[in-house]
Each structure stands twice: as structure tokens, then as C-alpha cells.
A and B are shown apart, each in its own frame.
Chain A
Amino acid sequence: MVEFLQFTLSGISFGMIYAAIALSLVLIWRGTRLLNFAQGGMAMFTTFIALEVIYHTGSYWAGFVVALAAGLVLGAVAELTVIRPVLGKPELNAVIITIGLLILLEGLAGIFYSGQYRSFPAAFSITGLRAGSTPLGVSRFDVFVAVAVLATTLLLAVGFRYTSAGLRMRAAAFNATVARLSGIRVARVITVGWALAGLLGALAGVLVSPSTFLYPNSMDAIFVFGFTAAVIGGLDSPAGAVIGGLLLGVALSYAGGYLGANVTSLVALGILIVVLMLRPAGIFSGAQVRRV
């Protein structure tokens, strides 16, 4: 029973990281109808930038903040340079471009840092917490992970719902033509969407790297899990992304705990296939089709 609790709590913590990646994918999907295969690579890159800042300043939080800022910038730059030309063109172009971006980022990281695994500091203690004498399976840092992702998600949700900028983004995502005719600069809105997705990816990167170590390919598996979570929840649904992330995190935690750690990727892909076969639109997608 204690094991079950530990697996659940640690699953929630990892699930939040998958949720952050899932949310970034949903943001881009809703705004541009593209799947950003480079999302994990971008997160890895900004985490390396954070590492540099931490080495040179000695301050974790400076690195944390710079990572998030770099995520914003990298997202915007990627959209302006590499993605803008393929908007409105056949979807395969965008797939190839984002995979190319992934390869570019991983290649650059490999050139600067080699394939060596680097450790990345955690914001808080990673010692397991206890309730009385029972080990809970999570640490202060894990709690921070959950809180950080939840807080960011809530901030974004509030921003979307209550600000003019958020209204512009929603209008552009739901009906770009009407948005344009209403004077909304949809191109700018798309850039902001990519910047925010970059921020979320950067957040996921710094939160997961203490556990996975940092190397050019370190975010590949996390990307797959995040993508799976997004598909589970429905690519159009931000709430679905978060719930999908949590469900997946917990499911993989049980799988890894009860069946063995080398099974987790298999289980993740298995879940992906099952969801795509049974309910391809995702569990939380509305029955309503998006009207154009």
C-alpha cells in the first residue's frame, strides 16, 4: 500500500512534466495546426543555456529564469524563421521542418557539449519526504515541480480568458479569417503562441533534467511521453493536456514500479496506440468539430 502511494505521488510529479510538454504541443497545435517535433530539442537547448548561466553565476534561480526567457525567445525565433514559411503549405512540409529543427538543435548541442551526460541541479532538496515514518516517494523538489507547472498552467489559463491578448489568441485559433477581418494581427499572435510553448518546454526541461541528466538526446523520451499525453487528452484541449499528462505519469509510474523500469517506454507507446485506435480525437476532445 505504501508502494502504491509512492508510485502515485511520484507519477503525479513526472506527470506534471509530461503535462508541460503536452501543453506546449497543444498551444502550437491550436494556433497553427502543426505538431512541433522539435519541442523536446528546444527544451534541451534552453536547459543547456541554464546550465551555462548556473556555472558562471553560481545561482540556480538565475539559470531558471534565463531558461524560461530563452524558451520564449527560441520559440519566437523558430516561428519567425523556420515555421512561418511553411504555414498554409502541405502539412508534410511542417513535419519535415520541425524534425529538421530537432536534428539541428541536437547537433548543435552535441558540438558544444559532446554527448556527455551532465548533471543538472534541482531547485530544492531531493531527499524523500516522509509522513511520520512512511517514505512518500517524493521530495521537496517533486512538490516544486508540481506547483511550478500548475502555477504556470493557471497563469496561462487566466491570461487566455481575461486579457485582450488572450482573446486575440483564442479568436485567431478558433477562426483565423474572422480574426483577420477584425483587425487582429494573426501572424503576431502565432509568434506569441510559439514563444509561450517555448517557455513551457523550457520549464519542463529544467524540471526533469535533474532526474534524467542532461545530454543532447535527453528530452527525446520526454517528448514522446508529452506527445502521448497530448494525444490522450486531445490535441485541441489544454485541460486534456494536463489531465493526460497526469494520467500518463501515474500509469507509467505503476508500470515502472510493478513491472520494471525498462517497460515504461513500451507501456507509453502501447497507451498511445490504444488511444489512437479507440478514441483518436483524445479523451477530452469535444464532440464538436472545429468549423472553418
Chain B
Amino acid sequence: MNSPAGTHGVQAHGPSSLAVEDLVAGYGEVLALNSVTITADAGTITTVLGANGAGKTTLLRAISGMVRPRSGRVLLDGADRAGRSPEDMARAGIAHVPEGQGVIAELTVEENLRVGMMARPGIARRRADRAAALAEAYERFGPLAERRRRLAATLSGGERQMLVIARALMARPRVLLLDEPSLGLAPRVMTQVMDMVVRLSRESGITIMLVEQNARAALAIADRGVVLNLGRVVAAADARALAADVALRHHYLGF
């Protein structure tokens, strides 16, 4: 599982660096992001922290195309892709797992995974590749294999989170954007989700940007941390250094 190319011969992109430069985005009159610059190196876990309303979710939405930036750049391996539609961004290799889980409840687990494959037409076209991709997902995420024919609506919170991450990975993305994956989950389940994120990073080397309310847990697994406040970056450093900065933690992160 160490090679990003996977075991069934379909070449995937390697992990990519992700950066936003002077990104400005908002809703109507409200500017949620006010000239934000963040760099995430290929293969790293970068966590974006901050209070509610700091702009974290808008940041991910602006990267994935759900929100059109007013100005600024979104760089995937140095190529600017700001302003593209969500479908185009997904096909370019950015997988966004939005807040609130985002399973398609009316479809089965397997159908949800098949939807995930749509972003990479090269994979989806040949049936053997599709079957291999599904098998790989089931091997990695055992509980999903057991529930493959069940409607996604019947899954527990932790299982749904597993499903959305598994679905996002079906596209063999270069970058994974996770928006509050632990939201609404019991502490034990949250730990499992965090472990899953770490394993993902180690095994597939995918670049991960993780938005989290639970700053302590996020900093424990991340390489780098960025703190947003009112749409601006107030701190960006190695995760260990951020966690050790008591004054910063108290002021912006609540612990």
C-alpha cells in the first residue's frame, strides 16, 4: 500500500503540493477570507485551526471550487486553478470531504463508492479496474465491506465518516480536504478517524489539509498548523511548535 499508483496498474498522480496565495472569498457582503496565504507541501498533513467563523470552511470551499474566490490563486503543484467548478477541481485531483459528512444517504455504500470513482474517468471506464478499485477500498475499510449493500442512511456516524473518506479516495486524489471529520462523533470514534487520517498519510502519501475544531487532536497528527482568525492567517508553523505555544493556544484555540 505504499505506492500511490495502487495495485491494479492504473497510474495515479503522485501527491501534490497545495498552496493558496492572497485568497479572498466570501458570501455577499461578508468576506470570510481576507487575503490568505497558506502552503502545504506534498505528502504532508496541514491542519487549519481557528474559532467558528474564522474562515476555515470557506478556505476548503474556495480550494475545491464550491465557492468562487474573489481574487487570489489556488495552486496545485504550482498550477493556478482558482475559479474552476467543483467538478473540474475534483477531476484535477482535489477531493473535498465537506462538513456534515456528505454521504448520499439514498444510495448504498457500494454506490457511494462508485460515485467516488467518477472523478477519474480513466479508472471508471474499464470494469476490471472498477472492481479492483472497489476491492482495494473494501480491504482498507473492513466495516464498509460488510455493509456494502446497505443504504448509506443506515450507517452510524463513524461509519459514514469512513465512507466519505473512502469515497474521496476512490478518485485517487492528489489532495484531500477534510472539513471537521470528527464533528458529532463520540470521542472513541473520533480517535479512530484521526488514526485513519494518519494511516492514509503514511500509506498513500496523499497531501491532506485538515480543518478541525478539536485543535489538540489535530495538532497531534499534523505536520504543520495554520491558525485563522476573522479571515486572516495569524499563525503558521510546525505543528509541534504551535502546540507548545501556550499563549497562542489559549488565545485562538481554546486550550
Q: Which of A170, A174, A185 contacts B87 (CB 8 A)?
A: A185
Give A168 to B96 CA distance when docked, in angstroms: 18
> B167 near A: Cβ within 8 Å?
yes
Q: Which of B87, B103, B116 contacts A180 (CB 8 A)?
A: B87
Give A288 to B114 CA distance when docked, in angstroms: 24
Residues of A within 8 A of B116 (CB): 182
> B102 near A: Cβ within 8 Å?
yes
Instruction: Indicate with 1 or 0, residue by residue over A154-188, a CB within 8 angstroms of chain B CB atoms.
Output: 00000000001001101100110111111111100
Classify chain A: how many residues form its interface, as a range: 10 to 19
Residues of A within 8 A of B153 (CB): 288
In contact, A181 and B106 (Cβ under 8 angstroms): no
In contact, A171 and B104 (Cβ under 8 angstroms): yes
**CB-CB contacts below 8 Å: A170-221 with B:** 170-171, 174-175, 177-186
> A56 near B: Cβ within 8 Å?
no
In contact, B105 and A291 (Cβ under 8 angstroms): yes
> B111 near A: Cβ within 8 Å?
yes
Chain B's nearest CB lies how many Å from the CB of A27?
A: 16
In contact, A164 and B114 (Cβ under 8 angstroms): yes
**Which A residue's beta carbon lies closest to that of B103?**
A178
Residues of A within 8 A of B103 (CB): 178
In contact, A175 and B66 (Cβ under 8 angstroms): no
Given contacts A167-B114, A182-B90, A182-B119, contact A174 B124 (CB under 8 A): no
Residues of A within 8 A of B86 (CB): 177, 180-181
In contact, A180 and B118 (Cβ under 8 angstroms): no
Instruction: Indicate with 1 or 0, residue by residue over A99-140, a CB within 8 angstroms of chain B CB atoms.
Output: 000000000000000000000000000000000000000000
In contact, A170 and B64 (Cβ under 8 angstroms): no
Q: Which of B98, B107, B124, B171 contacts A171 (CB 8 A)?
A: B107
**What are 25 A-B pairs at a CB distance below 8 A?**
A164-B118, A164-B124, A167-B111, A171-B107, A171-B111, A171-B118, A175-B104, A175-B105, A177-B66, A177-B86, A179-B104, A179-B115, A180-B85, A180-B86, A181-B96, A182-B90, A182-B115, A182-B119, A183-B87, A183-B118, A183-B119, A184-B87, A184-B115, A184-B118, A288-B153
